[in-house]
Amino acid sequence: MDARDRELVNLLHGGFPIEAEPYARVGEQLGISGAEVIMRLARLLEQGTLTRFGPLYDAVQLGGAITLAAMAVPADRFDEVAAIVNAYPEVAHNYQREHRLNMWFVVASDRPQRIAAVLQEIGAATGLEVLDLPKEQEYFLELRLPA
């Protein structure tokens, strides 16, 4: 990732234009061509520097719902429980964390009633308590890149 890539990613935090040739427009602001913007984005995605480029949807605003859930999984059952949790398409992310509560996952669905159902099913299938930690308020600011 070079300085121009960083400029590009920072610029995209401000939003991407909705017009016929948006990459060319972004390129104008950076002094490069639209083709170079596309080439750089493709490379950043391929390298995994960016995990996604496109419309960022809000599950709740789409009429769905999202929550964060946590479980304290015994070490000897960790992989078994991870497989049960990950099998749900509604589980968007799942992270192992260094804590007594060692499994943290996000459940998102365009069908709000699925959230409680998935948590309840995971609790029943694993015999473990599932903490439901939905976002009540967001204090939002974009991540800035280190200089």
Query: In residues, how long is the chain?
Result: 147
Q: Using CB under 8 A, which of 15, 75, 76, 127 touches another protein?
A: 15
Q: Does 74 bind another protein (CB under 8 A)?
A: no
Burial 62-82 (b: 16+ CB within 10 A, else e): eebbbbebbbebeeeeeeebb
Sites for another protein among residues 82-111 (CB under 8 A): 82, 85-86, 89-99, 101, 103-105, 108-111
φ, ψ for residue 65, nearest 5 deg: -155, 165
Count of positions on this chain that bind another protein (CB under 8 A): 80
Single-letter residue type at 115: I
- Distances from the Cα of 55 to the Cα of 12, 15, 19, 37, angstroms: 12, 10, 14, 17
Q: Using CB under 8 A, which of 2, 31, 75, 144 touches another protein?
A: 144
State the binding string over 27-46 for another protein (x if CB under 8 A, else -): -------xx--x--xx-xx-
Residue 43 CA neighbour count, 13 Å, CB half: 13
Nearest-angstrom CA–CA distance, 100 and 128: 13
Cβ proximity to another protein, 6 vs 124, nearer residue: 6
Sites for another protein among residues 114-133 (CB under 8 A): 114, 129, 131-133
φ, ψ for residue 52, nearest 5 deg: -165, 145
CB of 70 to another protein, least distance (A): 8
Q: Does 70 bind another protein (CB under 8 A)?
A: yes
Cβ proximity to another protein, 77 vs 97, nearer residue: 97
CB of 135 to another protein, least distance (A): 5
Q: Does 3 bind another protein (CB under 8 A)?
A: no
